[in-house]
Amino acid sequence: MNSNKKKELELWAARIRKTALQTIQTAGSGHIGGSFSLGEILSVLYFDKMNIDPADPRKADRDRLVLSKGHCSPALYAALALRGFFPVEHLSTFRQIDSDLSGHVEIHVPGVDMSAGSLGQGLSVAVGMAMYSKASGTGNRAFCILGDGEIQEGQVWEAAMCAGFYKTDNLIAFVDNNKLQLDGSLEEVMSPYPIGEKFKAFGWNVLEVDGHDVEQIADAVELAKVVKGKPTVIVADTVKGKGVSLFENNVDFHGGQPKTDEWPVCFAELDAKIAELEG
């Protein structure tokens, strides 16, 4: 990846975070921590790797993405708005009565391929999309983003078995390994580790990346694309709340909000990052 491309994707990641935080602030609620750990993953997918067209959001042969950790809608909605699927101003209606932008991701929103909310189900949906692509010959890929806490749900492993069995090599799943869940750290609540070995046992190609390094993420996607006969999981080492010191590795910001006087400090940190990348 050339340095301009790298900088561009880092900038989109920073903008996704800022836009997501503005969205949450306006709504008065929303999940910060898990949205922020996704900045670079969404930047690479929506601004580089996925075959999508904001002018034709439902085109038949587009790549699909299921955000199985559907509560991180602020990040996905921000990415879609910035990518041009709908106006950024529309984000100010997030979680409001007449808006299509519900708290958890919604299939009716332009650019969203599947609703999600009840954890552990999105990988199965993405497996179905990948199987359909092969069966019908559309030839597109399916992406899925799972939370690390989410893989405590048993259905994830039903889906993992199924993808391995049907050899869906057009499926690329990410595990956002930010190491925290609502009640505390994964290690305290219920350890799903080791993650990669579990997928490997079900016949998956396993890649591990720094989930905040756009180059590593992009390279992993390219590697996944050429693997034959196996689905790929990219276990992304991430920081929950990445990009704002107050949020980072802080379990209070799974679903919690900053205090009134903390908001400007948070935005200042995000603005400084954007300015640095723009400069």
Partner 1 sequence: MGENISTREAYGRALVEFGNNEKIYVFDADLKKCTMTTYFADKYPERFFNIGIAEANMVDVAAGFATCGATALVHTFAIFAAGRVYDQVRNDVAYPGLNVKVIGSHAGLTVGEDGATHQCIEDISLMRTIPGMTVIVPCDSNEVRLATKAMLEYEGPCYFRTGRPAVECVTDTFEDYKFEIGKGVQLTDGKDVTIIACGLMVQEALKAGKLLEKEGIRARVIDMHTIKPIDRDIIIRAAKETGAIVTAEEHNIIGGLGAAVSEVVVATENVPVEFVGVEDVFGHSAAPKVLLEKYGLTPENIAEKAKRAIARK
Q: What SS3 class is residue 62?
A: coil
Residue position matching structure tokens 């640095």: 276
Task: Give whichever of 130 and 266 is closer to partner 1, judged by the CB atom.
Answer: 130
State yes or no: residue 166 binds partner 1 (CB under 8 A): yes
80: contact with partner 1 by CB under 8 A: no
Q: Segment contacting partner 1 (CB under 8 A): 31-39, 127-135, 181-189, 212-220?
A: 127-135
H helix or E strand, kind and range, residue 131: helix 122-136
Q: Which of residues 130-149 bind partner 1 (CB under 8 A)?
A: 130-133, 135-136, 138, 142
The only residue of 15, 17, 31, 64 in contact with partner 1, by rule CB under 8 A: 64
Least separation in angstroms between CB 132 and partner 1: 5
- x/- track of binding to partner 1 for residues 194-233 (CB under 8 A): ----------------------------------------
Residue with tokens 């709504």: 27
Q: How far is CA 175 from CA 179, 195, 239, 253, in A?
A: 11, 9, 12, 19
Residues with Cβ < 8 Å from 47, sequence gap 6 or more? 8, 9, 12, 79, 83
Q: Which stretch binds partner 1 (CB under 8 A): 26-34, 79-87, 92-100, 118-126?
A: 118-126
> Smallest gap, in angstroms, from Cβ of residue 63 to partner 1?
12
Residue 137 exposed, middle or buried by CB count within 10 Å (0-12, 13-18, 19+)? exposed
Quote the tokens at residue 115.
């609703």
Phi, psi torsion values for 197, nearest 5 degrees: -60, -35
The DSSP output letter for 65 is E
Site of interaction with partner 1 (CB under 8 A): 60, 64, 66, 107-108, 113-115, 117-118, 121-122, 124-133, 135-136, 138, 142, 154-155, 158-159, 161-162, 165-166
